[in-house]
Amino acid sequence: MALNPDSLREELTWRWRHFAVFSGPQWHRVLRLRTAVFVVEQTCPYQEVDDKDPHAWHLELMHQGDLIGTLRVLPPGVTYDECSIGRVAVSADYRNLGLGRDLMNTALAFCDSRWTSVRLSAQCYLQAFYESLDFAAEGEPYLEDDIPHIEMVRRA
């Protein structure tokens, strides 16, 4: 699918939603996208559904009624002392258009308006991407679900 990033952006819909207000079908499409990316594409069988989602704010990126991107923001104290961003996913058909960066910039604005720092567990191959968003690596790489990760933090 050949998409024009400029015209596509005019057709996108963004929505923040706390877990508590999702309907069953709305939550199902979030899990379907996250599972497609993190379990199927990355061939990583792990417990994608966890007990953190009910505490989270979820960002949904829609195109023509389809969910094409998502992430979650957890408040301080759920995973780390800082707030955290995770489960950043963009549908395969919409990659390499800058939408991952758009998702992260939207999430960082959300976090910055509420808290002073953000921590995340980044897949190591994305370290440079997160550094471009002012995150700095902390500690050494580690395996999470057999995928190399590194903890990163961004301070306001």
Does the pTM exceed 0.85? yes
Measured distance CA(83)–CA(153) in Å, rounded: 10
Architecture of domain 14-155: 3-Layer(aba) Sandwich (3.40)
Residue 89 near residue 59 (C-beta atoms within 8 A): no
**Does 1 score more than 70 pLDDT?**
no
The pLDDT tens digits of the residues spanning 84-123 come to 999 999 999 999 999 999 999 999 999 999 999 999 999 9
Q: For residue range 14-53, what is the model confidence (pLDDT) as tens digits? A: 999 999 999 999 999 999 999 999 999 999 888 899 999 9
Q: Where are the domains of the chain?
A: 14-155
Q: What is the pLDDT of residues 43-94, one digit of tens each?
A: 988 889 999 999 999 999 999 999 999 999 999 999 999 999 999 999 999 9
What pLDDT is attached to residue 47? Answer: 87
